[in-house]
């Protein structure tokens, strides 16, 4: 199953991506983690130190030249089938696997932002980013979790049709919900209608009904364990509230069809 995560910056979508990836791996699933957000923090949220993070693909000028300018011609449909294994790093489990289950493997690929590509036109690097993301989403028969920016432009019209579900993440604020509604509308226009709203740091009540917001939602309350840790450790795994998070993740995945 392929799931994309989107929402306004700072609402917790990267944390949620890391939590779900770890739940899947502890339940025996192999997972590709794709960091396509400009913040590039999914690796640290998943327990990697800065020196363990892979180099963003956008910075690999050697690969851009090799794949996009192969043979002296501009190739906007490059062969990228070997790149996931080349670019990925393994990510450790954040907790014990389920009893009797052989844990799955988590692997992280950092895409990078176009703004990190240096001066001038980044069209070549963009073409490689899009080709790799399309390959992983369309051709890989494994779990793929893509941490996006606020929109769904990274996916593109051809790729988004192969994503099985969209998780729209928001904090309990009108700005967060309005961004989530816009993301939901954009995804629906591209044919991605299997959506779930996650309200992070949500205390009580019901969210307002905004056109574009997914109708079905789950709530994650404020997590004291995360608040206590986040000034000392970038990882969001292994929290005291992990059991409650696992229950929420099960509900979310069941709603998306898994």
3-state secondary structure 44-70: HHCCCCHHHCCCCHHHCHHHHHHHHCH
For residue 99, the number of C-alpha atoms closer than 13 Å in the C-beta half-sphere is 0
Second-level CATH architecture of 2-256? 3-Layer(aba) Sandwich (3.40)
Cβ pair 50, 44 in contact under 8 A: yes
Angle between helices 123-139 and 61-68 in degrees, nearest 10: 80
pLDDT at site 116 = 40
Per-residue pLDDT of the chain (258 residues; tens, 9 = 90+): 999 999 998 999 999 999 999 999 999 999 999 998 888 899 999 999 999 999 998 888 889 888 888 767 778 788 899 999 999 999 999 999 999 999 999 999 998 865 443 444 457 777 888 889 889 988 888 999 999 887 777 777 667 778 999 999 999 999 999 999 999 999 999 889 999 999 999 988 777 889 999 988 999 999 999 999 988 999 999 999 999 999 999 999 999 986
Please give the span between the terminal C-alpha atoms of the chain, in angstroms, as a whole number. Answer: 8
- Looking at residue 141, its pLDDT comes to 87
Domain ranges for the chain: 2-256
């Amino acid at each position: 199953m392929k799931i994309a995560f989107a929402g306004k910056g700072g609402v917790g979508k990267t944390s949620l991506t890391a939590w779900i990836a770890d739940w899947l791996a502890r339940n025996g699933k192999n997972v590709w983690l794709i960091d396509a957000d400009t913040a590039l923090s999914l690796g640290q949220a998943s327990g990697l130190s800065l020196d363990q993070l892979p180099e963003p693909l956008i910075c690999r000028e050697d690969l851009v030249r090799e794949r996009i300018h192969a043979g002296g011609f501009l190739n906007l449909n490059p062969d990228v089938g070997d790149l996931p294994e080349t670019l990925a790093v393994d990510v450790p489990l954040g907790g014990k696997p389920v009893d009797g289950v052989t844990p799955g493997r988590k692997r992280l690929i950092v895409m990078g932002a176009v703004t990190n590509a240096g001066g001038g036109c980044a069209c070549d690097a963009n073409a490689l980013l899009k080709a790799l993301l399309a390959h992983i989403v369309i051709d890989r028969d494994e779990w793929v979790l893509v941490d996006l920016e606020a929109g769904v432009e990274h996916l593109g019209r051809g790729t988004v049709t192969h994503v099985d579900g969209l998780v729209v993440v928001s904090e309990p604020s009108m700005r967060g919900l309005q961004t989530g509604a816009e993301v939901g509308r954009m995804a629906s226009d591209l044919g991605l209608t299997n959506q779930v709203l996650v309200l992070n740091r949500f205390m009580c009540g019901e969210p307002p009904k905004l056109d574009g917001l997914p109708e079905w939602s789950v709530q994650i309350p404020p997590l004291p364990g995360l608040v206590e840790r986040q000034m000392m450790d970038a990882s969001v795994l292994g929290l005291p509230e992990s059991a409650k998070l696992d229950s929420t993740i099960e509900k979310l995945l069941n709603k998306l069809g898994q």
